[in-house]
Structures are given as structure tokens and as C-alpha cells.
Amino acid sequence: MKRLIIIFVTLAAVFITFSCDRTPGSSSSETVRTVIYSLADDVYIQGLAIGTSGSGYEFLDDTPYLMNAGTPTFTIIPHPSGTGNAIQLTNRVQNYYAVDIFFAGLELTSGSQYVINVSGTSAPGLRMQLGRTDEPWSALTIVSADGNGKWNIEHTLTESELLEHFTGAQRGARIMTTSSNDDDFTINDIVVTRIGPRIEAQRSAMVLPEWDLTLPSLAKTFAGYFHIGNIWSNQNFMNAFNTQEGFLHHFNAATAENNHKPVSIAPGGYSRPAASAFNFATSDFIVNWTMENNLALIGHALVWHNQSPPWLTESAQRVPRTRAEARDNMEFFMRTISQHYDSLGLLGAFYAWDVVNEAIASDGGRWGAADNDWYGGDWRTQLRDSPWLRAYANGYNANAGEHPSDFIYDAFVFARRYFPYSILYYNDYNEEIPAKRNAIAQMTEQINIRWAHDSVNNPEAVSAGRTYTGRLLIEGIGLQSHYHLDQWRTNLDNLRPALERFAATGAVLSITELDITVGGEGGSHPATLPVPMSQANMQRQADAYARIFSCYLEFAQYIERVSIWGKADNQSWRSWGQPLLFDAALSSKPAFQAILDSVNSAAAPSVLPPRINGVTLPDGRINISYRGAHLSAERNNHAPVLWNVIDGELPPGLILFSATGVIGGIPTGRGTFTFTIAAANIAGTDTRTFTITVL
């Protein structure tokens, strides 16, 4: 339900109010000018110490008025006036690595004008722009820095530009450089001024966006089948309105949209940094948030051609590193993340990791055989020309059996070593295209066969000719499922054959990044669709969601998670195509009801209560350097299981991770401890009592 709220706005103390051309006794409805935001008075930014530096998540997430775009390095520097703080942006690899003014935080209202003033410094002549934060990402105003490197942007939002915000098409305004320019710059001042009647004179009724918590919970609806997940996008979105309550109402799994990607944790540049230079601030926040709310946390993504610092694969000369150097950097990167969370006792928090992301060519390349000939091609000929592939080709020895594609095998070996409790996924898009489907499946099978006989890295390895019964290396295949109804239209007829082929690999499946755009995708996709979407288009989208969810339910014995890639249309990375289940007002769309209805027409899940297996502890004794053990349970499908201590106490310093079943942490005291653990799913609960003696 929506709350109808009569707005009587009280401005925060940091805001400055003044009027122009007012005379005593004049009407309170006369036009006044009100500064509703000033960087100089932003208590969050001005409270930071000079020299504070990071990717922006650390401090822009704390202010409701600004957001980071991309991951440049943000540094707090002295304001040139000598009073207050300014924001410097460096290490910008794209022109959109910038600062966004977040309109929702400013609570813009209709019936007023808004003037945005931004000033700063840069290289002389640098072209700066105030642009749109979302599709079509066009400029609002462009200026050039003068001969001293000073620039000033002034823009009055037009009625149509305000309408873009009120309808959810645009989140705000972006302070950035023009196209293809990634020079550094500094923002000294931001001032947003409202021109209009006094707020108290308007007494205007507004309906604020709000998640309807009376709707059926998606997580509960599908609790007999698989997890239902979504993304942790950024603190601004998560704190807006009642979004956290809405998230926890509908979803029981979470993926960080950007904050676990390599560039969000590891420093940039071409020289390998020290482990101490890695930035875990926002990553730690997300880990703790998912733990507190009993969510399955999916790390995304360790090895990727995109959003990765160049030092991993390239030298300072901008050429590929050698195979040995890239391999060593890969291990260093994963080891650094693992050691950080191990030192905090939180390694067991990660339910799964997308280990390698998008290594196969976008369209799958040429399979070289009929689509239904699963083994007629060679996956190694269909790889994306990525920095990792180029580095692993630099110095490989074919006579020794090496191949440039070995970066994928090494990535999973390192991930198994450093993230022993997590389900390890290969993740990709266009996965339903037959050539790409066949390549991904064949790669998964061949890498798992190689692992089965790798006595160097796999303690469960068997000799050739013997049947392997141990843990797979690639345990899961992630189907990103970014689908489109127009232009680059997805052939949904390919979904069922893809699920059949992937299921045949023996790996578990997850739908990892689901969204369905309307209006097309491609180099010539149309401008943002009118908001709200037409009823005809909403029904087309609902039909598509119903169709694919019916397929998921049919293959539920192989699928352990379905994650939607975004909470509301205006927050989506493809907001122009309105691809999600909820609109910009956080209201459910027909697609939401369509997937609920798909359950009614599906076979009822056959779910048995979990049965807890024994835990591997040497005679129930551990020493003070203990790091964890993984509880497991026999179960007959992928219905989510939650773990809890229901009686007794774990040794001090240890924790049971409810989503993963890991007893982790670092013991802080010695003694003998007896406790009872429960594992529960929708069908019932099993309990088991353990005793641990800390020596």
C-alpha cells in the first residue's frame, strides 16, 4: 500500500534558507529562493579528515545527497578558500567515473524550479558536463575550464527534466567529463537552489514510493524450490524509503552488484599493490548486513575481463603480462580477499562465488557442429579475447600441455583453495544460444574431469580409469539471463535445451542476473520507454516472465537459486527497458503476479526435511588456531536451509553462519562446549548435538 502524505518539510540544520525581494507583510506564497543542498554544509563530507581516500563507497554512501558513479579514487582535499573540504577525483578510466547528485535525497517537489551550480578545477580547457545519470546519459550542460583550470556549471532543470525524475527515468544529475575523457578533476562547490512558493504554503499531497509488505513474499512462495535473490546496489538505494524491509520481505539471497568486483576492492594502476592497500569497507558492510539478515551471500566476481585493475594482467608498458606473472597476480588477489575474511572469522559468510565471469565469446562463436551435437566442437576455440587470455598466451608451452585457456582452471583451483566453503560458479550471459550453451557445458565437464585426476591440487583425486566421487571444481553454472523482447530479441525457445544441457554436466544451476527488457537492446535500441509502460508491453513482459519461471520450476531439482538483477525499474542498469518486477514507485507490475501464478500451475515440490551429516572435527577437539568446519545436510532438492544453534553455546569467538552451515571464526577461549544445531527448510527441522573441546 502507498501512504498518502501531506508534506510539511522541515529543512535540516545544514540547509540555508533565504528570500529575495520580500517585504514585511508579503504573502507566504510569494516566490522564494531556498538552498536545499550545499556541499559546504554537507555534514558527512565536511566531517571527513583531509586525505581520506577510497572508491567513494566509504563516504559517498554516508550522504543521502551524493552517489559515486563508477569507481574512481575519491580524495578529500582542502577547499581552495581555505575553509572546508573539496572532493578530488583521480584514476578515472571512463568519463562516467564521476559524482551523482541524488535527487531522491533532495526531495524535489513539483511546482518549483531548481538551479544546480557546480564549480571546480581541472586541466585548462577540460570540457565538463552536468549529465543524466541514466539512459540516454545525455548532457544537460557542457562548459570548458578556463586558462587557469577553473570551471563553473549552472543549470536550471526544465519541466521535462524534472518529469524524468518524477517518473523514475532519471535518478539525478552526474558531474563528469565529456565523452572519452578520463582526466582528473576536483569539485569545490555544489549548490542546489529551489525557486518557488514556500514549502509550507504548498501543502501539496505526494505519494512517496513504498514497498507493499502485504504482497506475497517471493522468498516464501518459492521456498520449496530454490532461493530467490536480488542485488545490493548501493547504500543510497538500500536506505531509500523502506527498501531494506522490501528486500528482506521478498528475497533470501543477495549479490553485490559492484562491490565485490575486482576494481571495487583492489587498487588500480599497473603495479601490484600491497595487500594492505585493498579496500574492504563496503564489502565488509555487505557481508555483515547479509549475516545479520540470514541471507545467502554470493560473491561476484573474481576473474573477469571487465571492472578489473590492469595490474592483474598488464604491465606498465600496457602489454600483456607473462603467463606466470598473471597467474601469480590471480592467486595474490584471491588470497588477499580470503585472508582478510579469514582474519575476521567471516570466510564462511560467502554462500557462493562467481569465480570466472564471461570467458566465452559473447555470441558463443562457431561450434563447428550441429547445435544438438553436444560434443562436436571445442570450447577452447570459442573464448573471448580477454586480458586474461592474452596474458596466459604469453609464454605458454604447448608441448607441456599448456593452453591460454588455463586461466579458467587456475581461477577455480585458487578459488577452491581460498574459499573452501563456497559453491564455485562459472557465470555468463547469452547462455541460451546453442553454440555458447555447448561451449560452457563442455568446458565445465572437461575442467571437472581434469580436476578429478589432479593429484597435485585435489586431495580427493583418483587415478585415470577410476570413478570420481569427490567435490566438483566448477560446482555451478550461472545463467545470467539478461533477456530482451525486441531488437536483439532473446529466443526463449532455447531456454529449455540450455537447462537440459547444463543439467547434464552434473553442476548445480543458478539464474544469476535475471531481467527482461521491453523496447529492444543493441546499438540502436530506442530511447527510454514512456513511464508507465503501456498495458500491452507490461503483458508481453509478464508472459515472458511466466514462461521462463514455468521452465525453472520444471527444472527445480537442478536449480538452487533465481536472482533478479535489480529491485525497481528506475534502479536497473537497463532502466530504459523497464526490465524488473517493480516499477519506479516500487509498485508490483503484472510480471510479479505472473511468476506467482507460475507456482500455482507447477507440480508441488517434493521436499523432505534436511538430515544433518556429521562434521569433520578430530575427535571433537580443536586448537586455538581453528578456522572452521562446514556442516552439511542430506536433502532431496534445493529448498533453502537455515542453520541455527538452538541449545547450548558455541565456543567463544565461533559463529554458525545461518545461510551456509559453516562453524567459523577464531576461538577466544579454551574449554569443552556442548551445543545443539538445527537445520530447517520448509518441510521440517533436523537437530544434532555436538561437543567441541578447544585445547
* pLDDT per residue as tens digits for the range 470-487: 999 999 999 999 999 988
pLDDT at 204: 39
Q: Which amino acid is at 519?
A: G
Q: At residue 162, does pLDDT exceed 60?
A: yes
Per-residue model confidence (pLDDT) at position 310: 95
Bridge-based pairing state of the strands 150-156 and 127-132: unpaired
Same fold flag, 4-207 and 611-694:
no
Q: Using an 8 Å Cβ cutoff, are 228 and 560 in contact?
A: no
Range with lowest mean pLDDT among 159-168, 266-275, 657-666: 159-168
pLDDT tens per residue across span 108-136: 777 788 999 999 999 999 999 999 987 67
Instruction: Give the per-residue pLDDT at 420.
Output: 95
Q: Measured between alpha carbons, how far is 388 from 410 in angstroms, rounded to an integer?
A: 11
- What is the arithmetic mean of pLDDT over 294-321? 95
Specify the pLDDT at position 8.
Answer: 27
Do the bridges between strand 476-479 and strand 508-517 make them parallel or antiparallel, or are there none, so unpaired?
Answer: parallel
Helix (H) or strand (E) holding 591: helix 590-600
Which of these, 186, 184, 180, lies nearest to 151 by C-alpha position? 186
- Tell me: pLDDT of 27 over 60: no
Give the pLDDT confidence score for residue 168 in this predicted structure: 62
pLDDT for 390-426, tens place per residue? 999 999 999 999 999 999 999 999 999 999 999 999 9
Gap between the Cα atoms of 24 and 49, Å rounded: 43
Q: What is the pLDDT of residue 541?
A: 97
- Asked if the model's pLDDT at residue 15 lies above 60, the reply is no
Maximum Cα–Cα distance for the chain, whole Å? 96
Using 50, 70 and 90 to split pLDDT, how confident is the model at 85? very high
Domain extent listing, the chain: 4-207, 220-229+481-605, 252-361+371-459, 611-694
CA distance readout (Å), 184 to 91, 96, 663: 7, 12, 46
Residue 168 DSSP class: T
The helix or strand, by DSSP H or E, that contains position 254, with its residue range, turns out to be: strand 253-256
The confidence score (pLDDT) of residue 555 equals 97
| 544's grid cell | 515472458
- Cell numbers describing residue 662: 559453516
Sequence-distant (6+) residues with CB within 8 A of 477 are: 425, 426, 431, 440, 441, 444, 502, 505, 507, 508, 509, 510
Whether pLDDT at 298 is above 90:
yes
For residues 1 and 212, what is the distance between their CA atoms, to the nearest angstrom?
5
Local confidence band at 283 (pLDDT 50, 70, 90 cut-offs): very high
Count of CB atoms within 10 A of residue 688's CB?
Answer: 16
Can you read off the three cell numbers belonging to residue 635? 536433502
Q: What is the DSSP letter of 581?
A: S
Q: Which CATH architecture has domain 220-229+481-605?
A: Alpha-Beta Barrel (3.20)
Secondary structure of 83-142 in HEC code, one letter for each residue:
CCEEEEEECCCCCCCEEEEEHHHHCCCCCCEEEEEEEEEECCCCEEEEEECCCCCCEEEE
pLDDT digits (tens, 9 = 90+) for 199-213: 543 333 335 678 999
643 pLDDT above the threshold of 90 = yes
For residues 373, 378, 381, 387, the Cα torsion angle rounded to the nearest 10 degrees is 110
How confident is the model at residue 7, as a pLDDT?
A: 28
Q: What is the pLDDT of residues 586-600, one digit of tens each?
A: 999 999 999 999 999
User: What is the spatial distance between Cα 363 and Cα 356, in angstroms, rounded to a whole number?
Assistant: 17
Report the pLDDT value the prediction gives residue 466, as an integer from 0 to 100: 95
Residues in contact with 441: Cβ distance below 8 Å, sequence separation at least 6, in sequence order = 374, 477, 501, 502, 504, 505
- Contact, 623 vs 695, CB < 8 A? yes
Which amino acid makes up residue 210? E
Per-residue model confidence (pLDDT) at position 175: 96
- Summary mean pLDDT of the chain: 88
Residue pLDDT, tens place only, 663-681: 998 899 899 999 999 999 9
Query: Both ends of the chain: CA-CA distance in Å?
Result: 56
Q: What is the pLDDT of residue 167?
A: 62
- CATH topology assigned to domain 252-361+371-459: TIM Barrel (3.20.20)
pLDDT at 4: 32
Q: How confident is the model at residue 56 (pLDDT cuts 50, 70, 90)?
A: low
Q: How far is CA 21 from CA 18, 27, 30, 193, 200, in A?
A: 10, 12, 10, 16, 19
Select the more confidently predicted residue: 149 or 584: 149
The DSSP bridge pattern shows strands 32-38 and 16-17 to be antiparallel
Which of 115, 124, 44 lies closest to 85 in space, CA to CA? 44
pLDDT at 57: 59
User: What pLDDT, on a 0 to 100 scale, did the predictor assign at position 14?
Assistant: 28
Residue 560: per-residue pLDDT: 97
pTM of the model: 0.79
pLDDT digits (tens, 9 = 90+) for 190-201: 999 999 876 543
* pLDDT one-digit tens code per residue, 528-553: 566 678 899 999 999 999 999 999 99
Cα 114–117–123 angle (5° rounding)? Answer: 150
Cα–Cα nearest to 12, from 28, 34, 33: 34
pLDDT above 60: residue 385: yes
Given a cut of 90, is residue 18 above it in pLDDT? no
Q: What is the mean pLDDT of the segment spanning 39-45?
A: 91
Q: Provide the grid cell at 84.
A: 572546508
In this structure, how many other beta carbons lie within 10 angstroms of the beta carbon of residue 64?
A: 19
Residue 594: what are its φ and ψ, rounded to 5°?
Answer: -65, -40
Q: Mention the CATH class of domain 4-207.
A: mainly beta
Who contacts 256 (Cβ-Cβ below 8 Å, separation ≥6)?
231, 232, 283, 286, 299, 300
611-694 topology per CATH? Immunoglobulin-like (2.60.40)
Q: How confident is the model at residue 521 (pLDDT cuts 50, 70, 90)?
A: low
> Going by C-beta distance under 8 Å and a sequence separation of 6 or more, which residues neighbour residue 443?
360, 379, 380, 408, 426, 474
Report the 10 Å Cβ neighbour count for 531: 18
Residue-level pLDDT at 29: 55
Where is pLDDT greater, at 451 or 182? 451
Distance CA 16, CA 41 (A): 9
Q: What does the alpha-carbon distance between residue 308 and residue 359 come to, in Å, rounded to a whole number?
A: 14
Residue 523, pLDDT above cutoff 60: no
Q: Three-state SS across 503-562? A: HCCCCEEEEEEEEEECCCECCCCCCCCCCCCCHHHHHHHHHHHHHHHHHHHHCCCCEEEE
